[in-house]
Chains A and B, each alone.
Chain A
C-alpha cells in the first residue's frame, strides 16, 4: 500500500449538477492523526465533497485520494462514514443493526455483537439493545448510527454534520468520543456549519463557501495570523462613532461588540473617536478572532448563512493565497 502522510487528498476537484457547480477546484489535505473540520454554510458543497471522498460521487475533474490511492472498496472499508441523512433500518433491533454494520465490514458476527453491546453501554443505551431502532428518539438513533460508524475501529472517521440534532449534553459526549479516537491515532474529518464547535475541536480547518475553498489552514496558525483583526468593545453613551473606514462589520457578542477591522487598521483612531464623542469606554481589547469572524472577513458576511441560505447567485470570492 502506497500510504503517504495523508488520509485524504483532493486536487482540483470540481463537481457540477446540471448548471449548478457544487464544488469548484477544491484542493484539500487531511494529514493523518488530526481532527480536521470542513466548514461552510448549508449548500456550500461540504456534503458533495464528502460523497466524493467516499466514492459515492465521481468528480467531473480533479483527483481524489484516500490513504494515497483510489477510494476503492478496500480503502473505503478502512473508513467509518456517517452520512448527513440519518440512515437506519428502522425495524431492526439496535444491537442487530450495529452488528450487521460490523459484519459487512468483515468482522465476525460474535465479535460485532460484543462490540455493539459494549458501545451501547458506553453511550448509555444498554437497555435499548433489544428495542427496535424506530422506537428510539432521533438523538438516540443518531448515537446508534454513530456506533455503527465506528464499530470496526476505522483509521479514518468521516462524519457529515455529526452533532446536528443532538442536545448540548450529548454534543459534549460525542465531542469527548471524537477526542478519544483522536488520542488513539484515528484521523477525523467532519463537516459542520457550527463554527463554535469546529473551533473547540479542530486542529485544522477548511472553510468553503459557495463551492470554493476560502481558508485551509492549521487552526493555531490561523488564529495567530488573524490576531488584531477583531476589537472587543464595551462602552456607555452615544454609538455613532463606531462606524468608520477601518471597521468592516460589527457584531454583538456577550453583551459587548466585536468590531471586524480591515487589514492594517488604526485601532487607536477608533478609540480617539469614541472619547471625543463622549462615550465612556469600559473595554477596549484586541482579541483573537472567532472562527466565525475569520470566515466573515474572508468570505463576506452574506456568505456565512448559518441560518441556511442556499448558495444562489455567484459573487466575487476572495481566496487566501
Chain B
C-alpha cells in the first residue's frame, strides 16, 4: 500500500514535469548558458584589445608571410611585416612593452618544417584566438610544402604556437585555463544550478499543494512522509533525466564529434587537450553521487521551507538563507581549485551542505585521498537522515497549517510534537 502510493506520487511528479515546456527549455538553455558564460569572456577578451590588435611578423623564411597575411587579416589582426635583423626581437619587445604593438611572431625554419612558432605578447590571447592564430600559421606552412614538394608529413603533428607573456603583461595565472580548471568550475556551476533549480521545484510544488489544499485530500489517503518522499524522488528523477540528456549530448559531441573534427582538421591540435580533459566514468559517477546526495539534502530543506510558508513571497524570503548555503561554496570554488589540499579547503569541503560543490571542485583537480571522498559521502548520508527527520516533521505539520509563518520556537514545537 505504501509503495503503491509513493509510486503513484513519483510517477505523477515525473510525468508532469518532463512533459512541460519548462523542462525542454531548461534542458536546452543550461548548456547554452554555460557555453555563453565561457565563450563570452573570450569574446569580450578579444574585443577589448580591438584597437591594439596589431602584431608584427618577421618572416625569416621568406615564403610564409604571403600566405599568412591575408588569413590573419581575415581573422581580424592587423599585420605589420617587419624585416629581420639580428636584434629584431629586442626592438620588437620594446615596442610591445611601449604599447605600440600587441606582440610579435618570428617565423623561422622551424615554423616552416614543423609549424612551430613563438608568439610574444603583452596580453594573453583568448583561447579561441590563440587557436585560430596557430592553425593559420600551421596551414600556411603546410600549404607551402604541398605546393613545393607535395609532402607535408611533418605538419601532421599540427604544429604549435608557443605563447610567451612579456614581463609587464597583466597575465592571468596560466593554470586558470587548464582543462581541469574548466571541468572543476563548470561541474561546480552545474551542481549548483541543478541542485538549486530542482530543490526550489520541490518547494514550489509543496507550496502549491498546500495553498490549493489538495494536500488535505492526499494526506487523507497517505502519510505526509510518503508524499514528501515520492515528491523528492520524482523531482530527483526528472533532474537525473536532464543530467543524463546533457551527458549523452556531451558524450556524443566529444566521443563522435571530436575524432571527426580531428581527422577533418588535423591542424586543430587543441582538441587533443579537450579530449584529455573529459572526465572518465569514475569522475562522472562521483559527479552523479555528489548531485544525488546534494539534492536529497537541499530538497528536504526546501520542502520544509515550502511547508512552513503560505505564499510565494513568504517562501522567497524564507529560502534566502538556504540559497546562501548553496551560493557560499560557489564563491570558494576558485581559491579551492588553486589550492585543493589546503587544510581549510579540506575542512570546508567536508561540511556536508558544502560537500557536493566543494568536494567536486577538489576531486576534479585530482589528488584528493580516497578516505576524504568516502568520509564526505558518509557525512552527507548522516546529514540526509538528520534533515529528513527534522524536515519531515516540519513538513507534516506545515502542509496542513493555515495562517502566518511559524516563528522559530513554534517550528521547534512542530518538530517535537510530531512524534
Contacts and interface: CB of A to CB of B under 8 A. Distances in A.
B5 A87 contact: no
Interface in B259-284: none
Nearest to B6: A104
B223 A73 contact: yes
B183 interface: no
A162 interface: no
A103 interface: yes
Interface stretch (B8-16, B84-92, B119-127, B133-141): B8-16
B217 interface: yes
Contacts of B223: 73
Interface stretch (B208-216, B324-332, B362-370): B208-216
B75 interface: no
Given A56-B400, A92-B16, A104 B221 contact: yes
Contacts, number: 71
Nearest to A75: B220
Interface stretch (A78-86, A171-179, A201-209): A78-86
Interface string B373-414: 000000000000000000000000000100100000000000
A76 interface: yes
A87 B222 contact: no
Given A56-B219, A87-B213, A103 B4 contact: yes
A73 B222 contact: yes
Given A87-B215, A89-B214, A81 B220 contact: yes
A87 B217 contact: yes
Contact of B216 (A56, A89, A90, A148): A56
Contacts of A57: 400
Given A76-B221, A91-B16, A104 B5 contact: yes
B14 to A, nearest CB: 12
A104 B9 contact: yes
Given A76-B221, A81-B220, A92-B16, A106 B1 contact: yes
Contacts of A81: 216-217, 220
Nearest to A51: B216
A79 B400 CA distance: 18
B103 to A, nearest CB: 58
A91 B17 CA distance: 10
Interface in B214-232: 214-223
A89 B223 CA distance: 19
Nearest to A85: B213
A77 B4 contact: no
Interface string A57-101: 100000000000000010011010111111111111000100011
Interface string A98-138: 00110111100100000000000000000000000000000
Query: Chain A CB within 10 Å — which of B213, B218, B223 has the most?
Result: B213
A82 B169 CA distance: 73
A134 B316 CA distance: 24
A54 interface: yes
A31 B263 CA distance: 84
B216 A87 contact: yes
B221 A77 contact: yes
A54 B216 contact: yes
Contacts of B20: 91
A100 B12 contact: yes
B407 to A, nearest CB: 13
Nearest to A79: B220
Contacts of B400: 56-57
B213 A83 contact: yes
A11 to B, nearest CB: 22
Contacts of B216: 51, 54, 56, 81, 83, 85, 87
Contacts of A105: 221
A15 to B, nearest CB: 13
B212 A54 contact: no
Nearest to A108: B4
Given A87-B215, A88-B212, A104-B9, A54 B4 contact: no
Contacts of A73: 221-223
Nearest to A73: B223
Nearest to A87: B214
Contacts of B9: 104
Interface in A1-30: 17
Contacts of A86: 212-213
8 smallest beta-carbon distances between A and B, as pairs: A87-B214, A85-B213, A87-B213, A103-B8, A87-B212, A104-B221, A76-B220, A83-B216
Given A54-B216, A54-B220, A89-B214, 5 more contacts: A17-B403, A73-B222, A86-B212, A96-B12, A104-B218
24 contacts: A51-B216, A56-B400, A57-B400, A73-B221, A73-B222, A73-B223, A77-B220, A79-B220, A81-B217, A83-B216, A85-B212, A86-B212, A86-B213, A87-B209, A87-B213, A87-B216, A88-B214, A89-B12, A89-B16, A92-B12, A96-B12, A100-B12, A103-B5, A104-B221
